[in-house]
């Protein structure tokens, strides 16, 4: 005959599906920022429960976007883009190995520069600026690379171009059909055209690399990832403060 005490123990350890069983009630609501117990109303600070005091401080302490903040961010971003371009070009010239992954570092530098200049403020215009500066830094690095590597190997191309340019200028001076100021103006115009051509070549270089499809596509993909890094870094970081809500209905 079974022992009644064994049956009673088995019954107590088996879940009783015929009747509801309630777990112990939750503890008091606490602020996820200061840890204090919330009495009465609570707020949501970026979806985290917070007390009224912390919510007020969060709303009041947010940095405000302004023209000055954006201008300072652009200045810092340009400086970071120049540093990134020097890093990219310098590494390639020294090693003569073009590593597209350096574009990821350039994107990070540009994003960090913009955030430093804006004191942590982000937003859509900061993201667009970060994308443009990252693309410009990586693409324009092709210009010093195209000039630096031939000079490193003492190739006469640059000197030959300089000689031809000097000869053209000398011919223009000897023609006698221009005023004394014309050669200087012609030289400035030629320099401006040369700079414009170099900038155009640099900006188009990521697509010119598609002449080698495999290398070009890989380079473009890495460039897009670098731009995405800068884009995500400069996204808006404003705190979202909602409430007040009744603490008796707070979700656990």
Give a yes or no: residue 22 inside a domain: no
Give how far Cα 242 sits from Cα of 37, 44, 94, 122, Å. Answer: 18, 5, 54, 21
Compute the average pLDDT of residues 208-214.
Answer: 86
Q: Looking at the predicted structure, is the pLDDT value of residue 24 above 50?
A: no
Give a yes or no: residue 47 inside a domain: no
Compute the average pLDDT of residues 52-80.
Answer: 84
Find the range with the poorest average confidence among 100-109, 133-142, 191-200: 191-200
- Looking at residue 27, its pLDDT comes to 55
Give a yes or no: residue 166 inside a domain: yes
Give how far Cα 12 sits from Cα of 2, 8, 18, 95, Å. Answer: 16, 6, 14, 76
Write out the residue range of the structural domain in which residue 84 sits.
73-233
Give a yes or no: residue 134 inside a domain: yes
The total number of structural domains in the chain stands at: 1
Mean pLDDT of the chain: 76
What is the band of 62 on the pLDDT scale with cuts at 50, 70, 90? low
Give a yes or no: residue 25 inside a domain: no
Task: Compute the distance between CA of residue 216 and CA of residue 52 in angstroms, rounded to an integer.
Answer: 55
Q: Looking at the predicted structure, is the pLDDT value of residue 213 above 50?
A: yes
């Amino acid at each position: 005959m079974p022992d009644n005490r064994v049956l009673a123990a088995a019954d107590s350890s088996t879940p009783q599906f015929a009747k509801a069983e309630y777990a112990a009630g939750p503890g008091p609501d606490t602020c996820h920022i200061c840890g204090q117990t919330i009495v009465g109303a609570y707020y949501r600070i970026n979806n985290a429960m917070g007390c009224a005091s912390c919510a007020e401080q969060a709303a009041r302490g947010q940095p405000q976007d302004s023209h000055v903040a954006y201008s300072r961010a652009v200045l810092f971003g340009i400086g970071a883009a120049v540093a990134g371009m020097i890093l990219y070009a310098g590494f390639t010239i020294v090693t003569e190995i073009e590593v597209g992954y350096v574009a990821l570092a350039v994107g990070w530098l540009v994003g960090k520069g913009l955030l430093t200049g804006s004191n942590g403020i982000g937003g859509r215009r900061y993201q667009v600026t970060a994308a443009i500066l990252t693309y410009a830094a990586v693409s324009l690095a092709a210009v010093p690379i195209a000039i630096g590597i031939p000079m490193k190997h003492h190739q006469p191309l640059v000197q030959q171009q300089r000689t031809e340019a000097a000869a053209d200028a000398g011919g223009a001076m000897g023609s006698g059909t221009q005023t004394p100021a014309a050669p200087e103006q012609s030289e400035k115009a030629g320099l401006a055209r040369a700079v414009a051509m170099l900038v155009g070549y640099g900006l188009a270089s990521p697509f010119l690399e598609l002449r080698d499809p495999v290398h070009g596509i890989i380079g473009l993909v890495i460039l897009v990832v670098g731009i995405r890094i800068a884009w995500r870094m400069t996204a808006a970081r404003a705190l979202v403060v909602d409430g007040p809500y009744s603490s008796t209905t707070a979700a656990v």
